[in-house]
Amino acid sequence: MTATTQQPRTALPGVDLERVTFEQAKGWRCALCAACLTADRPLGVFTAERGLLTDPTELWACASPCR
């Protein structure tokens, strides 16, 4: 069996990945609406050419869809 590694995505509709805040990158705030996360859901791994996401980073959003 061959393990497959997914490449980080470079786009998240409605989010400028180059402007993600430190709190959003760390999973403390929703990557979509910036609310404090008390219950969350994974959005996937993302990367950008500039900003905090130059290394692949897993982003999180509100457990109940906020958008």
What global pTM score does this model have?
0.79
Cβ–Cβ < 8 Å for 37, 31? no
Per-residue confidence (pLDDT) for residue 4, from 0 to 100: 64
Which tops the pLDDT comparison, 49 or 2? 49
Strand partners, 28: none
Supply the pLDDT for residue 46. Answer: 96
At residue 65, the pLDDT reads 83
Decide if pLDDT at 3 tops 80: no
pLDDT tens digits for range 8-55: 999 999 899 999 999 999 999 999 999 999 999 999 999 999 999 999
SS3 14: coil
